[in-house]
Amino acid sequence: MYIFGNINLMLFVIDFDGTLARTDTVDTMLEKFASPAWKDVEQDWQSGRITAIECMGQQIRMVRAEPVALEAFFESIELDPSFLPFYHHARRFGTVAIVSDGLDHPIQVATRKAGLPEMPVFANRLHFVPHGIDISFPHLNPCCGAGNGVCKCAIARDLAQPEGSVVLIGDGKSDACLAHQADVVFAKKSLLSYCEEQGIAHIPFGCFDDVLAVVAQWPTHPPQKLPLAA
């Protein structure tokens, strides 16, 4: 138990696929367990014929596998080994939550397998059905222009303390809506180019070691405005 006075104010929003997990675990699952036609569905979405949510639903329902095989795959998901030291430091500032536009159950399995502490997880829900899986969207926000299954900006709004800062750590499209509103953005891959295009202040990173190197310089009592890298 940490006792630092009233500093429990910061919210760290951690993306899963490509950020905490080294790869996109939904794509890897489709590669392994769905018919190759999942890529046609991806095309339909990229060319605007279907929405992101329709795309995800169709692709997830193309998975043909038994729970045993799927669970073994979820347990094999590799996480960034530098996350844990970052997590222990970040917890002194407030809440660390995994917020993902992927599936909740694989995140639970992979983080438990890696021995990470219990953390709040917000993601789309995986349902096992005979010989496959299905998906539902408990965190859908029809008002979010990004059209994701999980609206990261709405979740950050719900979780953040009234005067607390929001720190986003992510790598892709599902992070874009929150990138506009977060106080600090750590970005890599397509989120990095998105921030550059949109003129959003951001700190580039490769792994959580890089994030920790920055966060470790913040005073334990966070100031109103955090020191941002150029």
Write out the residues near Zn ion by the rule CB under 5 A. Answer: 144, 146, 151, 153, 177
CA distance 211 to 88: 13
Q: Of the two residues 170 and 222, which places its CB atom closer to Mg ion in the complex?
A: 170
| Residue 221 in tokens | 């009592």
3 — phi, psi (to 5°)?
-125, 100
Q: If binding is defined by CB under 5 A, does position 102 make contact with Mg ion? A: no
122 strand-pairing partners? 99
**Minimal distance, residue 175 CB to Mg ion, in Å:** 7
- Among residues 10, 12, 14, 18, the one that binds Mg ion under rule CB under 5 A: 18
**Minimal distance, residue 2 CB to Mg ion, in Å:** 29
Biggest CA pair distance of the chain? 55
Q: Of the two residues 9 and 207, which places its CB atom closer to Mg ion in the complex?
A: 207
The partner in contact with residue 57, picked from Zn ion, Mg ion, none with C-beta cut-offs of 5 to 8 angstroms by kind, is: none
**Minimal distance, residue 168 CB to Zn ion, in Å:** 12
| Residue 38 in tokens | 């999942």
Q: If binding is defined by CB under 5 A, does position 17 make contact with Mg ion? A: yes
- DSSP three-state, residue 226: coil
The single-letter code of the amino acid at 56 is: M
Q: Of the two residues 126 and 151, which places its CB atom closer to Zn ion in the complex?
A: 151
- Residue span 171-200 as binding mask against Mg ion, x where in contact by CB under 5 A, dash where not: xx----------------------------
Q: Of the two residues 174 and 218, which places its CB atom closer to Mg ion in the complex?
A: 174
The partner in contact with residue 151, picked from Mg ion, Zn ion, none with C-beta cut-offs of 5 to 8 angstroms by kind, is: Zn ion
**Minimal distance, residue 173 CB to Zn ion, in Å:** 11
How many residues line the site for Mg ion (CB under 5 A)?
Answer: 5
- Angle between the N-to-C axes of helices 104-113 and 25-33, in degrees from 0 to 180, rounded to the nearest 10: 100
* 110 closest CA partner among 17, 227, 189: 17
CA distance 58 to 42: 10
The partner in contact with residue 214, picked from Mg ion, Zn ion, none with C-beta cut-offs of 5 to 8 angstroms by kind, is: none
Distance of CA 149 to the CA centre of its chain: 12
94: left (phi over 0), alpha (psi -120 to 50) or beta: left
**Minimal distance, residue 127 CB to Mg ion, in Å:** 22
The span from the first CA to the last CA of the chain, in angstroms, equals 35
**Minimal distance, residue 144 CB to Zn ion, in Å:** 3
Residues that bind Mg ion (CB under 5 A): 15, 17-18, 171-172
